Amino acid sequence: MYRENVGRVTAFFSRRCREPQQVADLTSQTFVEAIKSAGTFEGRGSATAWLIAIARRVYAAHLADQAAGVNVIDRLGGRLVLADDEVEDLAARIDAQRDGRQLLERVAGLSSVERGAIELVDLLGLTPRDAAGVLGVSANVLRVRLFRAHQRLRKEHADDRL
């Protein structure tokens, strides 16, 4: 599961952070959280969806810490000391997420469910059902919101071309 998902989790944070160390720490923290709460996984959605839900919580806590002026490296797993090739690796991944970052910026005006649906389904490749589980809405609601989000993006794109 680690091998299948570490790229997705790293990409999730690479769309939000530009510092390799920060991406590394948040990715590490997500997996440490996952290890420590492995017993709570109920198997109702995919393991990927479960991990991304943890990543969203880790990022929210990270933002809360930042807002409080506290730079908590990791209450769980300690800071990763990165080798040069790891820093280069992560820098390349952050660069590779440029399009994803731009897409998230474009959808910033949408509702949180619509933004989440776009990222989870279109960028991360989750099924609508799994994405709905992550966002805490029904699968039907998610499909409707995703459809609307696509419509709005298409309209904005068409407007931009006029």
Partner 1 sequence: MTAFDDGLWARLVDQHQADRVALGPAPQRGSRRRLLVGVSGVAVASVAGVLAAVLSLAGGASTAFAGWTPQPTKPTAAQLATTKAYCASKVPWHGLPLKLVDARGPFTFIVYSDGTQNDFCTTGPAFQNASGWQTSSPMTVPAGQLFLWTDHVTADSGQPYGTMIAEAGADVTAVNVTLDNGDQVTATIENGWVAAWWPGAYHVASAQLTTPSGTRTQTFAPYPCDVHNCNGGPHGGAPGGGPGGG
Does residue 51 contact residue 5 with C-beta atoms inside 8 Å?
yes
Query: With CB under 8 A as the contact rule, which of the stretches 61-69, 115-123, 136-144, 153-161 interacts with partner 1?
Result: 61-69
3-class SS of residue 78: coil
Question: Which range of residues in 11-19, 82-90, 98-106, 150-158 is near partner 1 by CB under 8 A?
Answer: 82-90
Phi-psi region of 136 (alpha: psi -120 to 50; beta: other; left: phi over 0): left
> Looking at 74-82, 100-108, 118-126, 142-150, which segment touches partner 1 (CB under 8 A)?
74-82
> What gap in Å lies between CA 15 and CA 27, rounded to an integer?
12
Q: Report if residue 96 touches partner 1, rule: CB under 8 A.
A: no
- Nearest alpha carbon to residue 51 among 114, 2, 117: 2
Residues engaged in binding partner 1 (CB under 8 A):
1-3, 6-7, 10, 24, 27-28, 31-32, 34-36, 38-43, 47, 61, 64-65, 67-83, 85-86, 89-90
